Amino acid sequence: MKIILNLSFFLIFILTGFTVGCTQKTSTRIIRLGHGLDNTHSVHLAMEQASKHLELLSKGALKLQIYPNQQLGSERECLELLQIGSLDMTKVSGAVLENFAPKLKLFGLPFLFEDKEHLFKVLDGPIGKELLSEGEDFWLKGLAFYDSGSRSFYTKERPIMQPDDLSGMKIRVQESVSAFDMIKQLGAAPTPISWGELYTALQQGVVDGAENNPPSFYLSRHYEICKYYSIDEHTMIPDVLLVSTHLWDRLNAQEQKWLQEAIDQSVPYQRDLWIQSEKEALQAVIEAGVEVSYPKKNTFQLATQRMYEDFKKDPELAALIQQIKNEAD
């Protein structure tokens, strides 16, 4: 795979003496984790919890050093840094990871999961373990899934009550083939923009709206521009916590166990925080003047059915979709 690395980030790592795995002249191995979320986000708080637990388990031998707010680059850039071993860990949306681990594009299928219980049953079971291992051929080892809720549309000019309301709109999407296909089938123009640049893009009219979960809508302050939030919950795409196999393979068996255990215990902690953050975010945007609506989901389901037909042309994906559907029974 050809790896494209932003030159400015490469120079920063060289000039700052950024090294992989551990700091010099110390018995503590520093594991550097970069991500794009706010430091009040439930995922970041869960990472901090994991860091504390890791230090306790390892008696100070391992420590997470966390860089939030895209300090080390966008999700795509952090993935590329993991691939060459210049960054140890990152968090990305499953939608972005599908470019490296094709089976994860299943998460981009609209209305694949019946509810949160169905989602967690899949993520925490054999299917989830299989999906976490999908990126290892590309130096990306999955450690856990964090809850990222359901994604819905928010727009500047009007609410989205049915697919036709999206006609002619430019909607920001992640760098995901599945997201592109979904937006096209709903009649809008998919426009890829990095998360850090989206506020300005909305403000300047580069796009007419976007789609995301309530905490992201609130913490990004996109509600200051988009006054319509239409909760259709078209996809449930988890966040994926990844470690570079360059680091993982250098850890001994005990260190690997410590790291995995620390991450595992942070998952239920993050999911509990997420529930509360969703409630708080929705209340906050309503108080800020956002009109929250709940369109009928079946019209959006019907409009995106062709995606299932396309996916099922691949026998392996068809079998996986059926396994996921069976978990709901």
pLDDT band at residue 16 under the 50/70/90 scheme? very low
Same domain (yes/no): 299, 268: no
Same domain (yes/no): 137, 177: no
Q: What percent of the chain has pLDDT over 90?
A: 84
Does some domain include residue 108? no
Same domain (yes/no): 164, 39: no
Same domain (yes/no): 135, 206: no
Decide if 263 contacts 144 (C-beta within 8 A): yes
Average pLDDT, the chain: 91
Decide if 12 contacts 18 (C-beta within 8 A): yes
Domain at 76, CATH number: 3.40.190.170
Find the farthest-apart pair of alpha carbons in the chain and give their distance in angstroms, rounded: 62
Q: Work out the burial of residue 27: count CB atoms within 10 Å of its CB; fewer than 13 is exposed, 13-18 middle, 19 or more buried.
A: exposed
Res. 24: pLDDT tops 60 = no
- Between strands 209-212 and 291-293, the pairing is unpaired
Dig out the tokens for 77 from the structure: 């850039």
Res. 1: pLDDT tops 50 = no
Same domain (yes/no): 173, 229: yes
CA distances to 67, 104, 236, 271, 301 from 214, in Å: 23, 23, 12, 14, 21
Edge to edge, what strands does the sheet with 189-192 contain? 189-192, 170-173, 209-212, 151-155, 228-235, 291-293
Does some domain include residue 106? no
Does some domain include residue 112? no
pTM reported for the whole predicted model = 0.86
SS3 call for 191: strand
Does some domain include residue 302? yes
Same domain (yes/no): 181, 202: yes
Nearest 5°: CA angle at 71, between 233 and 38? Answer: 40
Gap between the Cα atoms of 272 and 328, Å rounded: 22
pLDDT score of 95: 87
pLDDT band at residue 281 under the 50/70/90 scheme? very high
Dig out the tokens for 34 from the structure: 């970069």
Question: Span 272-276, mean pLDDT?
Answer: 96
pLDDT score of 19: 42
- The per-residue pLDDT for range 78-115, each reduced to its tens digit, is 999 999 999 999 999 998 888 888 899 999 999 999 99
Same domain (yes/no): 24, 88: yes
Gap between the Cα atoms of 318 and 312, Å rounded: 4
Question: Span 213-228, mean pLDDT?
Answer: 96
Decide if 88 contacts 33 (C-beta within 8 A): yes
Does some domain include residue 34? yes
Same domain (yes/no): 123, 225: no
Number of domains the chain is built from: 2
Does some domain include residue 182? yes
Gap between the Cα atoms of 51 and 206, Å rounded: 39
| Intra-chain end-to-end CA distance of the chain, in Å | 39
Question: Span 118-125, mean pLDDT?
Answer: 97
Res. 159: pLDDT tops 50 = yes
Nearest to 257 by CA among 90, 53, 106, 77: 53
Does some domain include residue 47? yes
**E strand spans, 193-326:** 209-212, 228-235, 239-244, 291-293
Same domain (yes/no): 256, 319: no
Same domain (yes/no): 164, 305: yes
Domain region containing 196: 151-236+280-326
Question: Span 212-239, mean pLDDT?
Answer: 96
- Between strands 291-293 and 29-34, the pairing is unpaired
- The per-residue pLDDT for range 304-328, each reduced to its tens digit, is 999 999 999 999 999 999 999 999 8
Listing DSSP states for 150-181 in one string gives -EEEEESSS---SGGGGTT-EEEE-S-HHHHH
Secondary structure percentages of the chain, helix, strand, coil, to 5: 50, 20, 35
Same domain (yes/no): 157, 261: no
Same domain (yes/no): 13, 121: yes
Res. 28: pLDDT tops 50 = yes
pLDDT band at residue 200 under the 50/70/90 scheme? very high
Res. 8: pLDDT tops 60 = no
pLDDT band at residue 4 under the 50/70/90 scheme? very low
Does some domain include residue 205? yes
pLDDT score of 170: 98
pLDDT score of 22: 44
- The per-residue pLDDT for range 167-197, each reduced to its tens digit, is 999 999 988 889 999 999 999 999 999 888 9
pLDDT score of 99: 81
Lowest-confidence segment of 1-5, 27-31, 97-101 by average pLDDT: 1-5
Gap between the Cα atoms of 208 and 263, Å rounded: 37
Res. 206: pLDDT tops 90 = yes
